[in-house]
Amino acid sequence: MELVESVLNGLLIIQPKVFNDPRGYFFESYSSQRLQSIGIETDFVQDNESYSEYGTIRGIHFQLAPFAQAKLVRVVIGKILDIVVDVRKNSPTYGKHFAIELDSDSKRMLFIPQGFAHGFSVLSAKALVNYKCDTFYNSQAERGINYNDPSLGIDWRVDPDKVKVSSKDKVLPFFDQIESNFIFGKHH
C-alpha cells in the first residue's frame, strides 16, 4: 500500500497493491491493520454505495461535529472526479479544494478526514462508488456547499448540458455562508 499526501493537510491518497494475472485481479480494498501502519487510525462503522450516470454531481456534503465523518472513498466501476473542500476554520487551506480522479482501473482510494466537505462528478458512462464512514449518518448535522459556487472555482469536468444535480444539492449555500464548527488543529 502506497501513501501520498495531498495539498490539503490530512487528506491522503492511497494506492493499494494490486495483483493481476490472466484470471483478473485481487487487492485488499480495506485492511485496518494496513491503514494503521500508514497512520490512519480510523474505526469505520458504515459503508455507503452510490450508482450514478455520466454528468451526475453529488455533494458537496459534510456533517457538523460531533457527527463529522472521515471517509475512505473508492470507485468499483467507472471514473469520478472526487472533490474535497477544507471547512476547518484557521486552516491554511480553509476554503480551498482538492480534485483527484478515482477510477476502477487504478484502484486508487482517497482518505478524507473529518473537517472536509466531499463531493464528486461522474466522468464515465456510469460509476459505482463505495465509501466507508467512521460516524453514522445524522440528518440534523448534515450540511453542504453549493457545487456551483464561483468562489471555489471547481471544474467538475462534465458537459454543462449533461449535469445532473439533486434538487437538495442545487439549493445548498455558497461557501461564505456555510455553517462549520471545525477549527484547524482541534480534534472534535
Block means of pLDDT (10 residues each) for the chain, 188 residues, are: 74 88 89 86 94 97 95 98 96 95 96 96 98 96 97 96 96 94 74
Q: What is the per-residue pLDDT for 21?
A: 92
Q: What is the per-residue pLDDT for 187?
A: 61
Q: What is the per-residue pLDDT for 174?
A: 97
One-letter amino acid at 188 equals: H
Integer CA distances (angstroms), 2 to 11, 65, 131, in order: 14, 30, 19
Bridge partners of 3, per DSSP, are: 14
CATH architecture of the domain with residue range 44-183: Sandwich (2.60)
Bridge partners of 103, per DSSP, are: 79
Domain chopping of the chain, boundaries: 44-183
Instruction: Please give the grid coordinates belonging to residue 2.
Output: 502506497
Q: What is the per-residue pLDDT for 176?
A: 95
Q: What is the per-residue pLDDT for 3?
A: 65
Cα 171 to Cα 27: distance, rounded to the nearest angstrom: 39
Q: What is the per-residue pLDDT for 10?
A: 83
One-letter amino acid at 50 equals: S
Pairing mode, if any, of strands 79-86 and 97-103? Answer: antiparallel
Residues with active-site annotation: 61, 131
